[in-house]
Structure 1
Amino acid sequence: MEFCPTCANLLLVEHASMGRSLRFFCPTCPYVYPIDRQISKKMPLAKKEVDDVLGGEEAWKNVDRTQVTCPRCTYGHAYFMQIQIRSADEPMTTFYKCCSKNCSFQWRDG
């Protein structure tokens, strides 16, 4: 996207009269810029930091433990907590965290 240096409106592209060349033009003011070469700009986007919706490590401090098999390491115990993530008429979602110190894999039920 290119913008008009005079009025800052978005420039549009059109065929120049009597030829096959292209040009940018401003729909508001008389600004015209002939396109005589390929125009490209690369702008790397910064990734947003993802928030931990479960509350991070602090949320797992005082949770209960149950006998359930970890899908990653097959350890037989995991911490669990239930959170209402949908509307009130939907059942709560159960989140698990493997009790094995080498694994600590997190998953949810359903």
Structure 2
Amino acid sequence: MSTMKFCSECNNVLYPKEDKDQKILLYECRNCEHEEVADNNIVYRMEIHHSVGDGTQVPQDAVADPTLPRTKSVRCAQCNHGEAVFFQGTAKGEEGMTLFFVCCNPSCGHRWRD
């Protein structure tokens, strides 16, 4: 299971990035120029093409995506499980980025936005 990674330069969250030429997975900082090679060689890209609205349309298979960061600092309001996958997205009709979460409890799968 993957965990959140932080930039050694500015302490910002690192995001997965596929290097198609070298066929490796990298983590990059969106705040500075820092990049690092992932500790696994899985290259998986999940693309969400539809509007995520209030988070209810976030696909449950987001939990299986090893490139999405995970957090244990946010508890699920539905089942109180202590691990969730999260990503940033733009909510329909809103400006700016919103954090979306999916509970990692396989029997729950609750989705919410921050």
State the TM-score, normalizing by the size of structure 1.
0.42
* RCO comparison, higher one (Cα < 8 Å, 6+): 2
Structure with higher Rg: it is 1
State the TM-score, normalizing by the size of structure 2.
0.41
